[in-house]
Amino acid sequence: MAYGHKTEHWLRVRVQAVLHAAHRRSNAFIARETGLHLARQLVAIHALRPAQRPREYVALTTADTVVTPKGADAAAWAAAIDVIRKPAPPYEGRFLHRDFQPGNVLFDVPPSRPAGARITGVVDWAATSWGPADLDVAHCSTNLALLHGPASGLRFPEAYEEAGGVLAAAASERLYWRVRDGLACSEEVQLVAQSWREAGRTELTTRVVEERLDAYVTALMDAPG
What are the phi and psi torsion angles at 29 (to 5°)? Answer: -65, -45
**Res 22: pLDDT:** 40
- Alpha helices, H only, 25-170: 27-46, 74-85, 133-148, 150-162
Tell how strand 129-131 and strand 105-108 pair up.
unpaired
The residues that bridge with 108 in the sheet, in sequence order, are: 118
pLDDT score recorded for residue 92:
95
pLDDT of residue 4: 39
Pairing of strands 129-131, 118-122: unpaired
Domain range annotation of the chain: 8-222
Q: What is the rounded CA–CA span in Å between residue 163 and residue 149?
A: 22
Report the chain's C-alpha Rg in angstroms. 16
Give mean pLDDT in consecutive 10-residue pieces for the chain, a chain of 225 residues.
42 44 50 82 97 95 96 97 97 97 85 73 95 98 94 96 97 98 96 90 95 98 82
Contact 191/206 with Cβ under 8 angstroms? Answer: no
Q: Give CATH for domain 8-222.
A: 3.90.1200.10
Tell me the whole-structure pTM to 2 decimals.
Answer: 0.87
First to last CA, the chain: 28
For residue 65, count CB atoms less than 10 angstroms from its CB and return exposed for 0-12, middle for 13-18, buried for 19 or more. exposed
Q: Which residues contact 84 (CB under 8 A, 6 or more apart)?
A: 61, 62, 63, 66, 176, 179, 180, 183
